Amino acid sequence: MLDDATIDRCLAGVADTHDRLDAHTWRAVARTAGATFRLFVRRAGGWVRIELSPFLAAPEHPDKAARLHRELLARNRTLMEARFSLADDGDVILESVLDDQSPEDALAAALDAVVTAAEAHYTALRALL
C-alpha cells in the first residue's frame, strides 16, 4: 500500500524538495535538463495521481492548440506509465495514475516515468507554442 512514508521516500528520490500541502496532497520540485516543474502527488478514492502541472500553458491561438493537441496524442502512444492530458483551463498536464494498493516500486517507476517524459518531450513540445 502507498502510505505517507512510502510517498515521501519515493518523492525524495526524484525531487529536489517536497512538502505536504494537506492530508492527501504533496508538492515537489522536479528539475530536468530543460526546465523546473511543480510535481504533485494526490491520494484520493483508492488512487494515487502524479502530475506535473502545468507542463505547458495552453496556446492562445487555435491553430497552435490544434497542432499541440495532435502532437500530444501521438506522443501518448509512445509513453509507458505516463500520459499527457489537458486541465480544465487547457493547460497541458503530464500525469500517471496508480491504484493505492500498488507496491512502492510501482510508485517509484511512475514518478520516474513522469519526470523522464518531461525531460524527453518538453523542449520539442514547447517549440510548438
Give the residue-averaged pLDDT of 114-128.
Answer: 95
**One-letter amino acid for residue 100 of the chain:** D
- Grouping H, G, I as helix, E, B as strand and the rest as coil, residue 65 is helix
The string of pLDDT tens digits covering residues 31-45 is: 888 799 999 999 999
Residue with cell 500500500: 1
Tell me how crowded residue 79 is: count the other CB atoms within 10 A of its CB.
17
pTM value is: 0.93
CATH number for the domain harbouring residue 80: 3.30.1460.10
Nearest to 107 by CA among 5, 3, 33, 7: 7
Tell me how far apart the alpha carbons of residues 119 and 46 are, in angstroms, rounded to a whole number: 29
Cβ atoms of 36 and 21 within 8 Å: the answer is no
Structural domain span for residue 111:
4-127
